[in-house]
Amino acid sequence: MPRFHIEASPGLATGMELTLSEGVSRHVQVLRLQPGDDVHLFDGGGQEWRAAVVEMGRKRVSVRLEAPVDNDRELPVAVTLAVGMPANDRMDFVVEKATELGVRAIQPLMCERSVLRLDGDRALKKVAHWQAVAVAAAEQCGRSVVPVIHPVMTLGAWLKAEADGAALGSRPVRHRAVLSLREAVPLSDWLGEQPQVVLRAAPSEEARGGRQRNGESTTQFVFLNGPEGGLAHAEEEAALRAGWRSVSLGRRVLRADTAPLAALSVIAARYEV
């Protein structure tokens, strides 16, 4: 069944007719779908519908929402990856594969050893590009929730914002770990030290009707990973002073674009239900 991402709207309901965006309409036309053919539409926030093509225009396609789809493919815990942006197209790879593995948010960071440095319009364009990569990956892997790609920040500014948010109680308690190149507790052991994780319950009947966001989680993990060459000693020490824990992914040195995906895979293997 072809799947397409549409803009989120609180007023969407079964029986409503929609005009798809020009980009999505183009995909429908390329597939040579005809009136009466079915597609799946998801809004990136956890809602998905089966829809039928109603009309094929020259540039726009109209569809009718037929029924909500029960499509809960989220991890039972919410994971944020805060990554020192790797250079070239490796950040695209991280965003794509992390989306497939179930990440909920990605925070791009500029660190002391970062090769890729972004600010102003260039940073905004890159974040928009990475958000589009996440949308495409969600379409492919079947998720109805699209991870959020946050604006680029320096590591120092982000750690301060994290500490300020925790002090104000504006965010839920999160388990925070630095993916470290130094001697550190193995990730699996660190997970065993955490308070008992409350896994997200299966979606209710109301959620299946598209009236409640899928993917809600009562437990959150945040993993901080450096760019090529890892975090500088002072950067890791700053995180540790803020209450983070250094964890190890094993005896081998992993690349900047491999380590966060390895951590996410461990989380999925441990908590996926």
DSSP string, 142-166: T-SBPPEEPPPEEHHHHHHHHHHHH
Other Cβ atoms less than 10 A from the Cβ of 89: the count is 10
From-to residues of CATH 3.40.1280.10 in the chain = 78-271
pLDDT band at 209 (very low <50, low <70, confident <90, very high): very low
pLDDT tens for each residue of 31-45: 888 888 888 898 888
Residue that wins the pLDDT comparison between 152 and 272: 152
Dist. CA 97–CA 83, nearest whole Å: 14
Position 203 scores a pLDDT of 47
The CATH superfamily of 3-68 is Hypothetical PUA domain-like; domain 1 (2.40.240.20)
Identity of the amino acid at 239:
A
What does each C-alpha distance from 39 to 61, 70, 237 come to in angstroms? 12, 15, 50
From-to residues of CATH 2.40.240.20 in the chain = 3-68
Considering the segment(s) 78-271 as one domain, its CATH architecture is 3-Layer(aba) Sandwich (3.40)
